Amino acid sequence: MTDNDIMEEISKGYLELIASRNGYFNSIHRDYGTDLSIRKAKLCPIRKRYLTTGKAIDIQVKAVSEKYVRDYSDNSKTFVKYDLEVKNYNDLIDRANENGSFIPLILAVFIMPEFKNDWLNVKPEELILKKCAFWFQIPSGSSHSVNKSTVTIDIPKANRIAMDFYDVQFSALD
List the chain domain ranges. Answer: 3-172
A 10 A CB-CB count for 130 gives 13
pTM for the model: 0.89
Q: What is the pLDDT of residue 117?
A: 92
For the segment 99-128, what is each residue's pLDDT rounded down to a tens digit? 777 788 999 999 999 999 999 999 999 989
Say yes or no to pLDDT of 92 above 90. Answer: yes
Give the per-residue pLDDT at 63.
Answer: 95
pLDDT range class, residue 48, cuts 50, 70, 90: confident
Average model confidence (pLDDT) for the chain? 90
pLDDT of 51 > 90? The answer is no
Q: Provide, rounded to the nearest whole percent, the portion of the chain with pLDDT above 90.
A: 63
> What is the reported pLDDT for 30?
67
| C-alpha distances out from residue 137 to 47, 55, 60, 67, 124, Å | 37, 17, 10, 22, 37
| Structure confidence by residue, pLDDT tens digits, 117-161 | 999 999 999 989 999 999 999 988 899 999 999 999 999 999 999
pLDDT, tens only, 8-36? 999 999 999 999 988 888 887 666 778 99
pLDDT at 74: 94
User: How far is residue 157's CA from residue 72's CA, in Å, rounded to a whole number?
Assistant: 8
